[in-house]
A and B are shown apart, each in its own frame.
Chain A
């Protein structure tokens, strides 16, 4: 497989559930990102990892917990979510963070619904 893959593509969960989103990139990139895309809002950056180290957390609630075990994989662990967390969660990767022309490649996203 090539590019950036995400699983699951769709997820419905209750507010008391715990679930995890998975992202894998096959591009040899050093940086990975989690974004949230809600209806009628711009993409919001949630977390940034560079060389497996978290370098930025954009004030995301603690009910979202990222994990980057290696440079190819990124997880987003979810627990006690709220209905307003329903959104499309997009993973992206780029060669590195510091380059000005920093093209990011996105996965297809996980459409999350919290009941």
Chain B
């Protein structure tokens, strides 16, 4: 079973708010983890990789809990331009197949003035 689950939202927040997205994955053998961002009617783009020790990129913080098979993304001081769908993505290797990305359905964020 290969699944990545996310709360679909939408999350409607005011500018300046802090918002957190969660994601769980089913395959404990997953090797690497990412958050992608997809704007309306556009292609997905890598937002950030997620490392075991947690990592930060400006207003964005990603956390990984391998024991609970849980990934999170925290956005601080949200901007109007953060409005998008955030995709949780996991790299599985299984049955000799490697390097395949498994995508969650995405969490939609709408930041309001």
Contact = CB atoms under 8 A, between A and B. Distances in A.
A102 interface: yes
Interface of A: 31, 40-43, 45, 48, 56, 90, 94, 96-109
B103 to A, nearest CB: 4
A97 B43 contact: no
B103 A109 contact: no
Interface of B: 4, 31-32, 34, 42-46, 49, 87, 91, 97-106
B44 A43 contact: yes
Given A43-B87, A108-B43, 4 more contacts: A56-B97, A103-B34, A103-B49, A105-B46
A42 B44 contact: no
A99 B101 CA distance: 11
B35 to A, nearest CB: 12
Contacts, number: 51
Q: Which of B46, B87, B103, B106 has the most CB of A within 10 A?
A: B103
B105 A97 contact: no
Nearest to B8: A40
A99 B103 contact: no
B44 A98 contact: no
21 contacts: A42-B4, A42-B87, A42-B102, A42-B103, A42-B104, A42-B106, A43-B44, A43-B87, A45-B101, A45-B102, A90-B43, A94-B99, A99-B99, A100-B91, A102-B99, A103-B46, A106-B43, A106-B44, A106-B45, A107-B43, A108-B42
B43 A102 contact: no
A48 B100 CA distance: 9
A41 B91 contact: no
Contacts of A102: 32, 91, 99, 101
Contacts of A108: 42-43
Contacts of B34: 103
Nearest to B49: A101
A109 B101 contact: no
Contacts of B43: 90, 106-109
A96 B105 CA distance: 25
B54 to A, nearest CB: 16
